[in-house]
A and B are shown apart, each in its own frame.
Chain A
């Protein structure tokens, strides 16, 4: 099985998306899959054409997994641009396949620092529409919250902060290799927060940590309104 991992990280070398991509890549290879990674980074501040290698990887993959952070409610702009470029390539490949050929399977893994699943919902829906328009079979996605404490470390070194990620991505690898939809067990794992706290307590704790950090940094006016009096 050839799996193409589209890694939507724009903050290398130490980024959560890269850590998740590396972990999933390893899990897939342990299960006998061949993997390739297509990085979004070239599209961060430019708009290049797809390379021949990228086109070949897209045409030859049997499964694609989109991994990306959530920026302002959905996929970040560079990831969207890459998907726009990939869509016609994949569509052409799907249209050229002989009838009865299996469709390329598509999955997605999104993450954000906010804990609630609602933050990843719009992005996962967009991945599903991309898969449909690209002629792929949408197999589902996972949305991980509470990812900020990982701070770009390899998931094996991130301790309990990454336990839900390790479990969810391991189960996802099982589903990918089996050619199945994202399992309910993987979805449950993705929605589990390593340190669940009541909402009001979480807010108090995070505000206390933020106040200490801002004090240590010497930030004089953290609540400034620089544009309030803009013309």
Chain B
């Protein structure tokens, strides 16, 4: 499995290093290749909403910045991990800046999916998705919203499998490792 980690955990270094080490350990145990990207260090502009990726240069974003290097890596991965400190139940703004620019992966063809209107993705299959969130308290509301958001991404981007793991303020423990292992089990692409 090729795993792409889009990580905003550098914005919360007290949790970032242990979580990233946990993820690396699980990947090593399974013999998976991890490709990690620190999204807080990327130069990414906000989506212009120009629709060039749909109507002028199909599948290619018109903005020449670091996103040009991220999009191919998303498409050629088996699983994408969104690793982030949870902010208001969602992603850190640097990670959301990356996600706001994935529109080139969608085609201009309209479809019904999960009884909703969506765009068909250009690529099939799309990678699986793991949401790996860190929050500084045990508030259930934001954690639930984060899980719901990951689920919505899976519907919107037509992802074959998705899972979420939320780690709280306690030191990373066996419970966290078990949750992460279980999540990765559900996402594993079997030969």
Give chain A's interface residues, CB within 8 Å of chain B. Answer: 10-11, 44-45, 71-78, 80-81, 83-84, 114-116, 118-119, 121-122, 125-130, 132-133, 199-200, 202-203, 206-207, 210, 213-214, 217, 219, 221-228, 230-231
Contact = CB atoms under 8 A, between A and B. Distances in A.
Contacts, number: 147
Interface of B: 45-49, 54-56, 58-60, 71-73, 75-76, 87-91, 93-94, 96-97, 99-100, 102-103, 107-112, 115-118, 122-123, 141-142, 145, 148-149, 152-153, 156
A126 B100 contact: no
B56 A74 contact: no
B87 A72 contact: no
Given A126-B88, A222-B108, A227-B72, A76 B142 contact: no
Say whether chain B's binding surface is mostly helix, strand, loop, or mixed: mixed
Given A80-B90, A119-B116, A225-B122, A125 B148 contact: yes
Q: Across the A-B interface, give the 9 residue pairs with the lowest CB-CB distance, nearest first.
A: A230-B72, A77-B97, A77-B96, A227-B72, A81-B93, A129-B88, A224-B58, A73-B152, A80-B93
B110 A207 contact: yes
Nearest to B48: A11
A125 B89 contact: yes
B121 to A, nearest CB: 10
B141 A223 contact: no
B59 A227 contact: yes
Contacts of B111: 203
A116 B96 CA distance: 22
Contacts of B100: 71-72, 76-77
